[in-house]
Structure 1
Amino acid sequence: MTNDKQRIYSGDWKPLHPYTGSASTDLYYITLANKVLAAIRSIENDLAEDDYRKIDPSEQKELACILTAYFEDVISQTGIFQAFSRVYQQKYGKPLPFYSLDSDYTPGEINTEDIQFLIWHYHMQLNNLDIAYSPALDTFAAIAADVMELFEAEYETAPENEKLLHYLQPDEKEQHNLYALHARFLWLCTQSYLFSNNGYLLEDQAEALADEAKENGLEDQIPDMVNQLCNDFGFNQVTEFMRLTPPHWLAEVLGPESPLYDSLRSMGHKYTGYYRYEGGDDRVTRFRHIATDRVLEVTNRSLVGLPRDMKNPSLILRTGFVEWNGEWWLSGQITSYEDSEDLIGQITGDDDEYNLFEPDDDLPDDEQQIILTDILSTTVGEEGQTLDESDTAWQAMLSDEIGEDFFIAQVEAGQIKGLQFYDDPGRLLLDNLRFVTEYIKR
C-alpha cells in the first residue's frame, strides 16, 4: 500500500502556481503527476542508495510536479518552455542544447528531449551545481521516455489551465501598471517550474538578511528589508538561462507580438540606494542619489499614495528606482531617516553606494589568471579526495571570481583541460560551452 507521504497532493502542486485557491484542472494534473511519480520511482528504486544519480522520495515528488507542470504549460499554451526554446534558437541556432534533434522534435509541443533537459536542470540545481551531471545520463533518458509515454497518452484530451493562462496575460490596465507586471515576472522567475530554484535562492537571501538584521538589533525593520530584497530580485536577478532577467523572460513568454514585449525587454536595472528629494513639477519629482550626486527625474505616476514626508528635503530616503518606457519609476519600500553627519559619512563611504550606477566588471585578466592557476594546481579536495583535471576544471567553472569570457578563452586556448560532464568523456560540455558557462556564471 502506498504511503500518503509518497503521493502528490494539492499542497505539493500549488506552489508551482501563482494564484490563490484552486483551478478546475488541478485534480486532473495532480492525478497525472502521481503517474509521473510512479514512473520516476520505478527507475529510482533500481539505483543503489549511494548512486550519485539517486534522489530521495521528496525530491522525486518535486521532479514529478515540475515535469507535469511542463506538460500543463504546453497544453495550456502559456508559453514558458516555448519562450526558452525560441530564445535558445535565436542565440544558438537550434531549439534545445545538448541533444541531436530530428524532424520529430516540434517546438511548442511535448518532446522527450524537453523532458530529459528538465530532469538534468532539476538535478543540477538540486545539488547547487556541485555535480556536473551529464544531460545524456541513461537514467535521465529512461525517465524521460517513460514520462513521454504518459504525456502522449493524455495529449489529445488534457484540459487547459485557463486560470494560469489568464494570469500570464495582463489586461489593458495591468499593462500600464509596473507593480502588476512585477508580480508576474517575479512569480515566473522564482516559482514557475522552469525557474523554481530561484525561489529557494531568494528564500536563502531573505533568511541571511533577517539573521544579519537581528545581529544588528534591527528586528523591526526585517519586513521592510525583505520586501525590498524581493522587489530588487524581481527586477535584477540574472537567471540561469541566457543571462536574461525576470522582465525579459516575461516579455519572451508573452511573445514578440505582445504590446508589452519591447518595454519589458528594454526594462533597466533597479537602483536601490540612499536619495534626497530635490523638488519637481506636475510631471516628475526629482531625487538626488547622495553618494554619486546623480539626479533622477521620476514620473509622478509612480508616486501616487506614497508618504508625504518623502518630499521633505531634510530627510534621507532609502528606496529604489527603475527605468521603464523611458521614465524612472519608484518601486519597492521607502524608508526615511533623519539627516545626520554620521549617516552621510556612512553613505558616502560605502563602495556599493558609490558604484551603484556602475556595471559589475570582472577582475583584471592577470588577477583572474592567478586565481585560475591556483584552482587548477589544487590536487586534494576539502574532504581529502584526489582531484583530477576534470575536477579542477569544474571548480574553475564554479568560481565566482573567474568571468565567463575569460573562462571560455582559457578553455579554447587549452589552459583548462579535462572539462567534461561527470562520467561522460565526450565533447557534450565543450560543444555547449557558452550555454553551460552562462548557466553557471550568471
Structure 2
Amino acid sequence: MKKDQIYINHWLQLKPYTNETNIDLYYLNICNTIYAKIDIGEKIVLLSYISQDDLKMLTCFIVSYFEDVISKIGFWETFQQQYKSQNNKQLPFYAIANQDYNEGDINIQDISFLIWYYINTIQKEHSISPFNKFILDISLSAMEVFEEEYEYVPENDKLKTCYTLAKNVDFYDVREFIQKVIFSGFLFYPDINQRHDLELEELLLEKKDEEEYMKLSYIREFRETYTFNKKSSLLAMSASEWGYHFLKNTHQKTQGAETISKRVVGFFLYKNQDKNLIYLEHIASGKSFELTKKSFDDYNNLKEDEILYIGLVKWEGYWWFSGNYYKQEFNADLILDQKNSAVDRASVNFLNPTEYTQSFLEDQKKTFLKLNKGSLTITLPENKVDDFIQSFITHHNDTLKLSKEEIKESEERIKKEGFFHEEFSNQEEDQNFIDVNEKVVLFFNPSSGIEIFYGLETIFPNETHNSNLLEITKSDIISLLFSPEYSPELIHYFIKKFKNKVSILKESPLKEYIAELDFLLQFSKINHYEEQNRITFIGNS
C-alpha cells in the first residue's frame, strides 16, 4: 500500500522536463513537509471540494511558487506586474500594508491567493471564498516551512534555462516557447492546462474509433486553439500575451511575441504566388491573406482556385502556417456554404475596426430602451418573449426605413444566423413546450445585443416588482458572479443599478468581490473574453 505522500511524478507535472535532478528532490521534500502539516480537519474540508490527488498537486503548486521566487523564474512576477498595471495594487482580495508585504519575496498573502485560485479553477462546482479559514491556516503552515528553508533552498537553474528563449528565432521557435509557458508553467496548471487536457480527453474518447493520423490531427488542432485563441482565468490573457509579458519581465528580447495574432482556421482559395508569398482568399469573408513561403513547403503543388483548409497566425507582419492543412478541388457548393456562414465570416472579425459594429449596436440599444421604458432588462413570461422580439425587430426596422424586401430578408437572416436561442427562433413549431409560468429575463448587452436568461427574475425584477429585491440571497449573487453563462456586462449592469438597493452586497465576501469585480469577471467568465461579439443583425449588414 502506497504511503500518503507526494511523489516525484506529482512534482514533475509542473515542470517542462521529465527527468528529475537533486534540486527537484529537495523541493519534493518541502512538498511533503507542508503536506504533513495539513491537519486532518483541513484535509476533510479540502477533500469535500477536490480529490486527494488534487490536494497533493495543490501542495506542489504552492511550493512551485516558492521555487519560482527563489530561482527568479518569473511566472509570479509576471502575473503581479500585469495585475498591478490593471488595478494599481499588488494582489486581489487581501489587504496589504507596506510593512508586512515584500514585493519580489515570499508573502503569506501570495500563498493565500494562490490557494484560492487553485481550488476555484481545479473545480467549478463550488465557489470558495478567499477568506475561508482553511486557506489562511494552510498558508500559515506553508509560510513557516518556507521561512525555515529560505536560507538553504537551492535555485533551480535547469528550470530557469528552460524558460529562456534563444536570440535568433522564427515563428515556430516563439510558438514553442509560448506553449512551454502556458502548458508547463506552474501558474497555469490548474487552469488552462487542465482545461486543455480534460477537453482533449473527452474529444479523443468521442473519436476513439477513428484512424490514428486523425487523432493526431485533433491533438494538434486542440493545442493550436489553446495556444492562440483561448484565454487564461487569470486576467483573461492569451498564451501569446503571457509569453510576451514573461519575456519582457525577465529582461529577454520579446522576439515579436507582441505581434502574434489570433489564429484563423478555415477554407481558403489559392490564387497565386511569387518568390516569397502565397496569396490566399478567405472564402467566407473574401479577405486576402499573404502566407510566407518560409512556413509552407508544399507551395509548388498548389493549383489556382484549389481550396485549402489551413490554420494561419500572423507574426511580425506575415501570416505563417500553423496547425493542420489539407486541400481539395474547387467546390462551388462548399464556397456557397462558406459565403453564407455568419460563423465563418465572423472568424476574421478581429482583423476589422469595430466602429460600424459599435454604431450598429448603439442604434439597437436606443430601440430597446425606447421600447422598454429606459431599462436594459425586462422580465417576461416565456410565451411573451417572441412577441417582444418581433416588436423590437419591427421598431428597429422602422428606424432604418427599410423596404419590405429588405425587412423580409433581414428576418430570414435572423432566423438562419441570428444570435437568439434556437428555442425562440422556432416557437411556431414548439408552442406546446412553452411554460406560460416560466419567467425569462432579456438583457440588451451593449457589446453584443440581446441576451436571454432563465431563473433571474428575482434578481432582475421589472420596475413594478422591486420588492422582489428583498428575496435575493448571497447564493444568487455568487452564482451571478461565478457562473460562466452570465456576461460581464450583465453583472456590471446589476451592480450599477442595485448596489445601494440590495443590502447583502455590503456584506463579506460580496463586498470584497465587488471591489475586485473586473478581476473576478475575467476569472469566472473567460468564455465571454474568448468569443467574438455576437450581434443580432437586423436590417442592412
Equivalent of residue 176 in structure 2, options 159, 163, 183: 183
Matched, 1:434 2:518: yes
- CA change 1:373–1:285 in 2 (3 A) is closer
* 8 A Cα contact 1:283 1:299, kept in partner: yes
- 1:10 corresponding residue in structure 2: 8
How far apart are 1:188 and its partner, in Å?
A: 2.1
1: CA distance between counterparts of 2:239 and 2:503? Answer: 34
- The equivalent position to 2:496 in structure 1, one of 412, 415, 430, is 412
User: Is 401-410 or 197-206 further displaced after alignment?
Assistant: 401-410
- After superposing the two structures, state which structure 1 stretch, 314-323 or 193-202, moved more: 314-323
Q: What SS class does the counterpart of residue 25 from structure 2 fall into?
A: helix
* 2:281 pairs with 1:288: yes
Aligned to 1:335: 326
What residue identity is the alignment partner of 1:334? Y
Offset of residue 136 of structure 1: 1.3
Are 2:243 and 1:235 aligned? no
Q: List aligned pairs for 1:60-139, cutoff 5 A.
A: 60-103=55-98, 104-128=100-124, 130-139=125-134
TM-score by length of 2: 0.71
Give me the whole-angstrom Cα distance separating, in 1, the residues matched to 2:49 and 2:17.
Answer: 32
Q: Distance in 2 between matches of 1:12 and 1:52?
A: 18
Corresponding residue of 1:209: 203
Secondary structure of the corresponding residue to residue 6 of structure 1: coil
Answer 1 or 2: which has greater helix percent: 2
Structure 1 residue 145, shift from structure 2 partner: 0.8
C-alpha distance in 1 between matches for 2:161 and 2:474? 47
Candidates 198, 202, 208, aligned match of 2:192? 198
Match of 2:311 in 1: 320
C-alpha distance in 2, partners of 1:331/1:51? 41
* 2:252 equivalent to 1:254: no
Q: Is the contact made by 1:209 and 1:226 (CA closer than 8 Å) also made in structure 2?
A: no
Residue in 1 that maps onto 2:266? 273
Mapped contact 1:82–1:108 kept (Cα < 8 A): yes
Aligned residue among 355, 360, 379 for 2:346 = 355
For residue 204 of structure 1, what is the amino acid of its counterpart? L
Change (3 A) 1:417 1:240: farther
Separation of aligned partners in 2, 1:168 and 1:283: 32
Identify which range, 109-118 or 6-15, moves more after superposition: 6-15
Among residues 276, 300, 311, which one is paired with 2:293 in the alignment? 300
Are the counterparts in 1 of residues 310 and 321 from structure 2 also a CA contact under 8 Å? yes
Quick one: structure 1 residues 331 and 238, their matched pair in 2 at CA, closer, same or farther if it must change by over 3 Å?
same
- 8 A contact 1:376–1:393 mirrored in 2: no
Q: Indicate the residue corresponding to 1:158 in structure 2.
A: 153
Supply the distance in 2 between the matched residues of 1:226 and 1:417 (Cα, whole angstroms).
48
Q: What's 1:23 paired with?
A: 21
C-alpha RMSD over aligned residues: 3.1
**1:377 and 2:457 matched:** yes
Quote the offset at 1:301 in angstroms: 2.3
**For residues 134 and 285 of structure 1, do their structure 2 counterparts lie closer, same or farther at Cα, with a shift above 3 Å needed?**
same
Say whether the 8 Å CA contact 1:16–1:191 is kept in structure 2: yes
- Greater CA radius of gyration, 1 or 2? 2
Give the aligned partner of residue 383 of structure 1. none
Tell me what 1:384 maps to: none
In the TM superposition, what whole-angstrom CA distance separates every residue of 1:211-261 from its partner, at most 9, and x where no partner exists?
55568x677522112201211210121111222111111222222574544
Instruction: Say how many residue pairs are matched.
Output: 423
Match of 1:244 in 2: 237
Q: CA deviation at 1:401?
A: 4.7
Distance 1:404 1:225 in 2: 31
Q: 1:338 to 1:372 in 2, by over 3 A?
A: closer
Structure 1 gaps of 5+ residues are 380-386
Distance 1:114 1:233 in 2: 27
Structure 1 position 168, deviation (Å) = 0.9
Structure 2 portions without partners, runs of 5+: 366-375, 378-441, 445-449, 460-470, 527-541
Q: Aligned partners of 1:310 and 1:16: how far apart in 2?
A: 43
Contact in 1 for aligned 2:271/2:279 (Cα 8 Å) = yes
Out of 142, 148, 158, the position equivalent to 2:143 is 148
Equivalent of residue 34 in structure 1, options 26, 29, 32: 32
**Cα distance per residue 1:100-151 (max 9 Å; x no partner):** 11223122211111111011011101222x3221111111001001101111
Question: What letter matches 2:512 in structure 1?
Answer: L
CA contact (8 A) 1:191 1:198 kept: no
State the 1:307 CA deviation: 2.9
* Structure 1 residues 354 and 418: alpha-carbon distance in aligned structure 2, compared to 1, 3 A threshold: farther
Percent identical pairs in the alignment equals: 25
Q: Deviations over 1:4-52 (max 9, x none)?
A: 3521112111111112423341111111111121123x2xx11585788
2:481–2:520: 8 Å Cα contact kept in structure 1? no
Query: Structure 1 residues 311, 278: closer, same or farther in 2, change over 3 A?
Result: same
